[in-house]
Amino acid sequence: MGWNIFTNAPDSYHLTAAHIRNSLHQQGFATFNAADLDLSDSEKIDLISLCELSKSLPLDRFGEGGRHRSYCEGIWSWETETIDWKTGYQQPDGSIEIDYHQGSEYQPEFGGVVRKFLRMSDEILNKGLLNKLIWHDLSLTGMAEHYSRLLCGVHLIRMQALPGKPAKITPNCFHRDGQPFTAVHLIERCNVEGGATHIAPPYYANCQLEAVPAHEITRFLLNDPLDSYIIDDAAICHYINPVICDENASVGVRTIILIDFSPLEQSDRCPQ
């Protein structure tokens, strides 16, 4: 996966990215949308294709039903300007799984548990749109200027709610993720209520929504494809409320791509 994908991007793209980066730095989070990403025609087609591919995601067997997921992680190297994706482990049924670790200090429901997810297919990992999102998000974090190697995690998650059966994001409370930066991009939202993002100061981590004063919460919704946000995990905590199926619908869906970045070692490229 090559790095210099934005060499030919228009000036307005870089100006917008600088604005998003400022918001992230000042508020601990920033929102942006499809217009800010300046998609090419082929990237627009990738969006439709991701929407289709997400329909065959398997159920995430960790936690309550309704959450379907595939995951992959890879090592980004400053030297090669590429990401080397992990290959995962072949299962007896032929599927390929990959381990996912999250510390218990960040994940009250599954912290310390090695969760196993279907490895994201190379078809998805090679999509131009996914590449664009990764490099865009990485540039917002500023981490590429400070580290030689980073761990990049990518989840494709389809929350599927049925009448009377909401789909819940885990953990179902305010929390931090443990990865220094995480970006979330909406792929599809159809026939659902909820799935709203709530941002609060970091000391409310592990609190239920009711325990946090309303004036401390910033709330927003990803509505349209590629409505997005990025969070600085040290600066804030976040909560996503359950996804509820619309009254007159037989099924409701909220599908996202989540991209996170963590250093693999101490900062070693700080300016002198």
Interface residues with Fe ion (CB under 5 A) are 177
127 versus 175: smaller Cβ distance to Fe ion? 175
Strand partners, 89: 97
Q: Which two tokens stand for residue 202?
A: 């970091």
Shortest Å distance, C-beta 106 to Fe ion: 8
Shortest Å distance, C-beta 256 to Fe ion: 11
128 versus 178: smaller Cβ distance to Fe ion? 178
Q: Which two tokens stand for residue 130?
A: 């996914």
Residue type, 266: Q
d(C-alpha 249, C-alpha 119), whole Å = 31
172 versus 191: smaller Cβ distance to Fe ion? 172
Give the chain's end-to-end CA distance (angstroms, integer): 30
57 versus 184: smaller Cβ distance to Fe ion? 184
1 versus 173: smaller Cβ distance to Fe ion? 173
d(C-alpha 82, C-alpha 137), whole Å = 15
Shortest Å distance, C-beta 241 to Fe ion: 12
String of b and e for 58-92 (b: at least 16 CB within 10 Å)? eebeebeebbbbbbbbbebbbeeeebebeebeeee
Shortest Å distance, C-beta 22 to Fe ion: 23
| 9 CB burial (10 A radius; 0-12, 13-18, 19+) | middle
17 versus 24: smaller Cβ distance to Fe ion? 24
Shortest Å distance, C-beta 103 to Fe ion: 13
Shortest Å distance, C-beta 163 to Fe ion: 26
128 versus 202: smaller Cβ distance to Fe ion? 202
> Residue 224 phi/psi, 5° resolution?
-105, 155
User: Which residue number places its CB atom closest to Fe ion?
Assistant: 177
| 272 CB burial (10 A radius; 0-12, 13-18, 19+) | exposed
String of b and e for 198-218 (b: at least 16 CB within 10 Å)? bbbeeebbeeebeebeeeeee
Shortest Å distance, C-beta 225 to Fe ion: 21
